[in-house]
Amino acid sequence: MATHSSDKRNSRANASTPEVASAKAKARQSQADDKQAEGRFNITGDTRLTAGSSFNLTGFGRFDGKWQIQQATHSISRSSGYTTEVQFQKVAKKES
């Protein structure tokens, strides 16, 4: 499931101005934040679950919102029947 990190991130990169340095730092933090909001679940097989599709999660507090399926693996076995394993990631809110 999700991993946790501190709010502070150390990075060494060259920048020509303080503004460029700030932009690089924000981009790196955004990438790190995106990786923290991900997960995986197994469910009874569902052909509607495909990579690139999205779903809305409700009733889970801070996890509520729009999520995108990164990978869906559909399997059939004698013991489990038809199942789908889904890996998903939180869709970042666009800043205005």
Q: pLDDT tens-digit profile of 13-23?
A: 677 888 877 78
Task: Indicate left, alpha or beta for 52 from its phi (over 0: left) and psi (-120 to 50: alpha).
Answer: left
Distance CA 50, CA 69 (A): 7
Confidence band, pLDDT 50/70/90 cuts, at residue 1: very low
Helix (H, G, I), strand (E, B) or coil at 44: strand
Q: pLDDT tens-digit profile of 22-68?
A: 787 777 766 655 556 899 999 999 999 999 999 999 998 988 999 99
Q: Measure Cα distances from 4 to 7, 32, 34, 51, 55 in Å.
A: 10, 10, 11, 25, 23
Beta strand segments in 1-96, E: 38-44, 54-57, 65-77, 81-90
Indicate the pTM of the whole model.
0.59
Single-letter amino acid code for the residue at 60: F
In this prediction, residue 9 carries a pLDDT of 56
Confidence band, pLDDT 50/70/90 cuts, at residue 2: very low
